[in-house]
């Protein structure tokens, strides 16, 4: 109440009743004295404010102007930065990033499979995104390099000592051969009727595409360099080795002489070691044994007229010779010993829309053209160690081994049994081969024009098995029949 009485401003004029109470209450009077003293303190402590120093006023004004300008800059930026249009643009950009990240990247040229030549193969080709695409290796500036042809015979688009750039296509005619030195020191050799495209030649990556035929690669071990060959849907990458790639109409064969290669096919990846091979056919990658790295036995040679010391020719094989040959066995294929008990594993591709029955397999039934070796230089002498002719023969033998399970499709049963006998003989299962050969010979002769050729094949395989089993008398009997 004393406070009320002392603050007329706050509560207005004190009432008469309050004044009367104050006169009769000693405590209230004491309290009022304190209030009055406090207000006097306020009056004494706060004399009128002095004027602000003009210099200080200007100094503060300059500082405040700078602060206002600084804030104006910030406020000028942030409203612009948080404009709704920018937010919409940011959301749209994020959506675009999400959409783009879900789109699979386009395949790089090194892994793009060549168009499959056979319609049946097209039907079973998995979508491209299923391809085991290796990462694009190069980001640094590329240094395109050159490949050099070291020897060429019956070659198209290349001659000896010619330098090849990226994109060059080299081909060989039937019976031709071509060796080239790749920029990394590796060597590649084309057999007859082959065609190879040089996709990429630089320090980091050497990539080629085998468009047809066979190529032998003797690769240097360079960890920083990737060497790959595309053959249709199959990609072969090596890590320092010697291997063979052969491409037919609807199959690709990879055989490893030394080292290790990686074979990437749609839905399947196989790492092949020396002595192993893999064949891609009808959407399946079939792994099998490969002939040992020993060179093929020397074939009987004759000097081609006019006699040229540098050119020798292998005697052409007798098949499909209508008349019996005086030499037994006449087919050079049959003289090349295959390892016995060929192991065989199958790497199955993921489920595809492959038709249930595979189409007829055009197995190269005809023998290889007469391979010719042209040892003109030291390089070719090295190449002769891995004879292209021998390679071709082994390719055919392996092809026959792999293709025999499919041979029954589209062919006559009698011919199929001939192929089966040959496969058993190749595998070294001579007892079974002989049993089936006897049964085949005892059956009724068909009216086919190929009956004579089939019979000769069966006899040749009989002779191989008798020789292998050291049944000399039977071998002599069959040899006599062949003659």
According to the binding rule CB under 8 A, does residue 67 interact with other proteins?
yes
Spell out the SS3 assignment of the chain.
CHHHHHCHHHHCCCCHHHHHHHHHCHHHHHHHHHHHHHHHHHHHHCCCCCCCCHHHHHHHHHHHHHHHHHHHHHHHHHHHHCCHHHHHHHHHHHHHHHHHHHCCCCCCCCCCCCCCCCHHHHHHCCCHHHCCCCCCCCCCCCCCCCEEEEEEEEEECCCCCCEECCCCEEEEEEEEEEEEECCCCCEEEECCCCEEEEEEECCCEEEEEEEEEEEEEECCCCCCCEEEEEECCEEEEECCCEEEEEECCCEEEEEEEECEEEEEECCEEEEEECCEEEEEECCEEEEEECCCCCCCCCCCEEECCCCCCCCEEECCCCCCCCCCCCCCCCCHHHHCCCCCCCCEEEECCCCCCCCCCCCCCCCCCCCCCCCEECCCCHHHHHHHHCCHHHHHHHHHHHHHHHHHHHCCCCCCHHHHHHHHHHHHHHHCCHHHHHHHHHHHHHCCCCCCCCHHHHHHHHHHHHHHHHHHCCCHHHHHHHHHHHC
Q: By CB under 8 A, name the one of 13, 26, 37, 473 that touches other proteins.
A: 37
Q: By CB under 8 A, name the one of 8, 23, 29, 53 that touches other proteins.
A: 53
- Nearest approach in angstroms of CB 5 to other proteins is 12
Query: What binding mask, one character per residue, do residues 411-440 give for other proteins by CB under 8 A, x or -?
Result: ------------------------------
Residues near other proteins (CB under 8 A), total: 38
According to the binding rule CB under 8 A, does residue 15 interact with other proteins?
no
According to the binding rule CB under 8 A, does residue 310 interact with other proteins?
no
- Nearest approach in angstroms of CB 144 to other proteins is 58
Using the contact rule CB under 8 A, the part of the chain among 59-67, 350-358, 378-386, 425-433 near other proteins is: 59-67
Nearer to other proteins, 53 or 451 (CB): 53
Q: By CB under 8 A, name the one of 16, 49, 81, 357 that touches other proteins.
A: 49
Nearer to other proteins, 50 or 223 (CB): 50
According to the binding rule CB under 8 A, does residue 39 interact with other proteins?
yes
Q: By CB under 8 A, name the one of 34, 165, 293, 308 that touches other proteins.
A: 34
According to the binding rule CB under 8 A, does residue 41 interact with other proteins?
yes
Using the contact rule CB under 8 A, the part of the chain among 52-60, 320-328, 339-347, 381-389 near other proteins is: 52-60
Query: What binding mask, one character per residue, do residues 76-115 give for other proteins by CB under 8 A, x or -?
Result: x---------------------------------------
Q: By CB under 8 A, name the one of 8, 15, 29, 40 that touches other proteins.
A: 40
Q: By CB under 8 A, name the one of 8, 20, 65, 143 that touches other proteins.
A: 65
According to the binding rule CB under 8 A, does residue 63 interact with other proteins?
yes
**Residues forming the site for other proteins (CB under 8 A):** 3-4, 7, 9-11, 31, 34-35, 37-42, 44-47, 49-53, 56-57, 60-61, 63-65, 67-69, 71-72, 75-76
């Amino acid at each position: 109440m004393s406070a009320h009485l002392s603050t007329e401003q706050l509560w207005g004029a004190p009432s008469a009743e309050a004044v009367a109470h104050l006169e009769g209450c000693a405590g209230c009077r004491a309290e009022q004295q304190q209030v009055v003293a406090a207000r006097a303190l306020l009056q004494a402590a706060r004399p009128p404010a002095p004027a602000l120093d003009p210099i200080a006023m200007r100094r503060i004004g300059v500082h405040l102007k700078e602060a206002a300008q600084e804030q104006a800059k910030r406020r000028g930026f942030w409203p612009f930065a948080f404009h709704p249009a920018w937010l919409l643009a940011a959301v749209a950009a994020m959506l675009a990033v999400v959409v783009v990240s879900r789109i699979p990247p386009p395949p790089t040229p090194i892994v793009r499979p060549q168009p499959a030549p056979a319609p049946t193969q097209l039907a079973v080709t998995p979508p491209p995104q299923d391809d085991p695409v290796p990462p694009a290796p190069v980001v640094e500036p590329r240094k395109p390099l050159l490949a050099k042809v070291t020897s060429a015979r019956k070659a198209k688009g290349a001659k000896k000592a010619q330098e090849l750039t990226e994109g060059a296509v080299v081909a060989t005619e039937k019976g031709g051969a071509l060796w080239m030195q790749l920029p990394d020191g590796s060597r590649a050799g084309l057999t007859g009727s082959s065609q190879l495209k040089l996709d990429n030649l630089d320090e980091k990556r050497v990539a080629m595409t085998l468009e047809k035929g066979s190529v032998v690669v003797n690769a240097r071990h360079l960890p920083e360099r990737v060497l790959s060959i595309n053959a249709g849907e199959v990609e072969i990458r090596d890590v320092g080795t010697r291997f063979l790639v052969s491409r037919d109409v609807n199959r690709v064969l990879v055989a490893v002489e030394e080292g290790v290669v990686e074979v990437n096919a749609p839905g399947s990846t196989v790492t092949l070691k020396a002595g192993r091979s893999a064949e891609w056919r009808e959407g399946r990658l079939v792994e099998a044994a490969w002939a040992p790295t020993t060179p093929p036995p020397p074939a009987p040679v004759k000097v081609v007229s006019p006699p040229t010391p540098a050119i020798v020719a292998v005697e052409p094989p007798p098949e499909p010779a209508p008349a019996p040959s005086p030499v037994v066995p006449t087919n050079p294929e049959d003289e090349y010993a295959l390892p016995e008990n060929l192991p065989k594993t199958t790497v199955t591709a993921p489920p595809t829309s492959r038709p249930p029955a595979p189409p007829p397999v055009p197995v190269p039934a005809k023998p290889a053209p007469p391979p010719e070796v042209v040892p003109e230089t030291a390089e070719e002498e090295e190449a002769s160690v891995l004879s292209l002719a021998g390679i071709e023969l082994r390719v055919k033998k392996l092809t026959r081994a792999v293709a025999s399970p499919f041979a029954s499709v589209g062919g006559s049963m009698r011919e199929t049994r001939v192929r089966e006998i040959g496969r058993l003989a190749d595998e070294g299962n001579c007892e079974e081969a002989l049993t089936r050969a006897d049964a085949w010979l005892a059956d009724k002769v068909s009216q086919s024009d190929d009956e004579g050729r089939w019979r000769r094949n069966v006899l040749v395989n009989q002779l191989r098995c008798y020789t292998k089993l050291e049944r000399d008398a039977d071998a002599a009997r069959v040899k006599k029949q062949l003659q």
